[in-house]
Amino acid sequence: MIGSLALRSRLEALDWIVESFLFIAVVLFLAHAAALGHRRAVDAAVIRERQRMARELHDGLAQELAFVVTECGRLGLDPGLRGIARAAQGALAESRRAILALRRPVAPSLAEELEQVARHAADRAQLRLDLRLAVGIDLPPASRIELSRVVHESIANTARHAGATSVCVELSADHGTRLAVSDDGIGFDPSRSEAGRSGFGVLGMQERVRALGGELRIVSRPQRGTRVEVLLP
């Protein structure tokens, strides 16, 4: 293209404009292809490193923890050993979750990210988890982080205060992005528990959602469970 433009000495104005636009289009196309190739190379390198770390965790830390759990079980029911075994089992579960996370795609979807957070929090609290996460919904990184924190905080508060056995996490695109975390716990009366609301981390969640331009609602009744709902525009 550059050689063609340089060698042609008598160009009409319209011809010059057309040639220039063609040249710019080719340059942009090549730049886009180069950027895409670079991104793919970076993603491939990240995937290789994540896979290496997952193998190291599996072959090293996870194997050692599994040995500790097995040996504690073989040595008997001494109270001290039972405590060590429980700690080792918890650490083994954490290492396995880390290995699974490293095996996931480099850029998980919003539904996958929320599922990972919800499963980790529910497993830790020994709560039954029901997931109803719509696929194909995406949000900016800042919104993803805040929604993940709301899910984690809601489930943690359920474990601490609600006396629940199960928790449900829902994600949908209903006049915006809607996230809901509900439980089957003892609930409370919002009109009479002003002092107790801080114990449910409501203020912090409200601030997170307000920073995103959204709205947080809490619906609860005694013995009817609690529902934390976030609506983002």
pLDDT value at 178 more than 80: yes
Provide the 3-class DSSP secondary structure of residue 229.
strand
Q: Which CATH number is 117's domain given?
A: 3.30.565.10
User: Which residues make Cβ contacts (< 8 Å) with residue 8, sequence separation at least 6?
Assistant: 19
Least confident piece of the model among 123-132, 138-147, 193-202:
193-202
How many CB atoms are closer than 10 A to CB 10?
5
Mark whether 99 and 127 lie in a shared domain: no
Mark whether 81 and 159 lie in a shared domain: no
Q: What average pLDDT is seen over the chain?
A: 79
Given 84, 107, 130, the domain boundary residue is 107
Mark whether 157 and 94 lie in a shared domain: no
Q: Are 65 and 95 in contact (CB under 8 A)?
A: yes
The number of distinct structural domains making up the chain is 2
Mark whether 87 and 123 lie in a shared domain: no
Distance CA 178, CA 185 (A): 22
pLDDT at 180: 94
Mark whether 188 and 99 lie in a shared domain: no
Q: Are strands 166-172 and 128-133 parallel, antiparallel or unpaired?
A: parallel
Mark whether 7 and 102 lie in a shared domain: yes
Domain that residue 184 falls in: 108-233
How many CB atoms are closer than 10 A to CB 182?
21
Given 90, 107, 124, the domain boundary residue is 107
Mark whether 183 and 123 lie in a shared domain: yes
Mark whether 94 and 116 lie in a shared domain: no
pLDDT at 195: 40
Residue with the bigger pLDDT between 14 and 217: it is 217
Least confident piece of the model among 75-79, 87-91, 104-108:
104-108
Mark whether 53 and 1 lie in a shared domain: yes
pLDDT bin (cut points 50, 70, 90) of residue 77 is low
pTM beyond 0.75, yes or no: no
Mark whether 116 and 66 lie in a shared domain: no
Region 123-145: mean pLDDT is: 88
Provide, rounded to the nearest whole percent, the portion of the chain with pLDDT above 70. 84
Closest C-alpha among 121, 223, 90 to residue 164 = 223
Rg, the chain, Cα only = 27
- Cα→Cα distances 145→8, 142, 151, 199, 224, Å: 56, 5, 10, 22, 29
3-state helix, strand, coil in the chain (%, to 5): 65, 15, 20
